[in-house]
Amino acid sequence: MITRCPTCGTAFQVQREQLAAHFGTVRCGKCGGVFNGVAALVEEGSERLALDPSPQLGLFDPSRRPAQGASTGIDGQLPEFLVREEPARLGWLWLLLCLAALAALGAQAYRVRTEVTAALPALRPALEAICRLAGCAVPLPRRPELIQIVSSDMHDDAGRQVFVLNALLKNRGPFPQQYPEIELTLTEGGKPVTRRVLAPSEYLDPRVAPKLIASGIEAGGEESLRVHVDARAVRATGYELCVYPQDCLKQPKK
């Protein structure tokens, strides 16, 4: 049997089984047009026809697919079962997803770098090396609940209402951490009279304070502090001292 493409007029020799497949729908192997091979059957006669290979080949040979914009049938639409999806180009997509995941992981690691060094102190040198390359820093952990005031004493300096506060701090944590802020409250009859929060730069020796603040108080380390307190504007008979913002213990002024 012979069928003729209605688009380009090319005639093909076909078998009954080919026409039975997909209800007779075939694709022209020359122009790529899709047509009903049964409806386009022609009778063999005296006319000599130039026969091309079976149009069925056009269904499977990618090189013989019609160019974009070329006619593909009487209504210009390919049947759904003949539409072949282009291979998904996932290589770049996967690469972009991987880069996005790495960026998100890096951002998360940057945000929690201090907590990581608190949980795994051995990682601090590696994180500091990476941060030096990235132009960032790894701050020391700040865990005031692990700082203990081992002892404290405050006495009047020559009766001039200028008191001298001495205290000893201890880092009970297993890692170096920032020097804490210290809250000092002067009291009268058990009631607060005035309160002040002292920064490390105020209670550490000013000659070595920048170096100490940069290195922090080492794991298990102790540090003494000495502060002069001018209380000439108030009357106080006691004091409270605590690691801010922890609870303070009342202490009698000596």
Q: Are residues 116 and 74 in the same domain?
A: no
CA distance 251 to 254: 9
Q: Indicate the number of domains in the chain.
A: 3
Q: What is the share, in percent, of the chain residues with pLDDT greater than 70?
A: 74
| 18, 60 contact by CB (below 8 A) | no
Q: In terms of residue numbers, what domain contains 177?
A: 144-252
Q: Are residues 106 and 68 in the same domain?
A: no
| CATH number, residue 155 | 2.60.40
Domain boundary among 73, 105, 134: 134
Task: Show the 3-state SS of 90-133.
Answer: CHHHHHHHHHHHHHHHHHHHHHCHHHHHHHCHHHHHHHHHHHHH
Structure confidence at residue 62 (pLDDT)? 43
Reported as a single tens digit per residue, the pLDDT across 137-150 is 888 888 899 999 99
Structure confidence at residue 88 (pLDDT)? 53
Cis peptide before 245 (omega within 30 of 0): yes
Beta-carbon contacts of 178 under 8 Å, excluding residues fewer than 6 positions away, are 139, 140, 141, 142, 200, 213, 216, 217
Q: Are residues 107 and 156 in the same domain?
A: no
Structure confidence at residue 195 (pLDDT)? 92
| 196, 203 contact by CB (below 8 A) | no
The whole-number average pLDDT for the span 95-122 is 74
Q: Are residues 154 and 245 in the same domain?
A: yes
pTM: 0.52
Predicted confidence (pLDDT) at residue 214 exceeds the cutoff of 80: yes
Question: Which has more confidence, 236 or 89?
Answer: 236
Q: Are residues 166 and 247 in the same domain?
A: yes
Kindly state the tokens that stand for 239.
């004091």
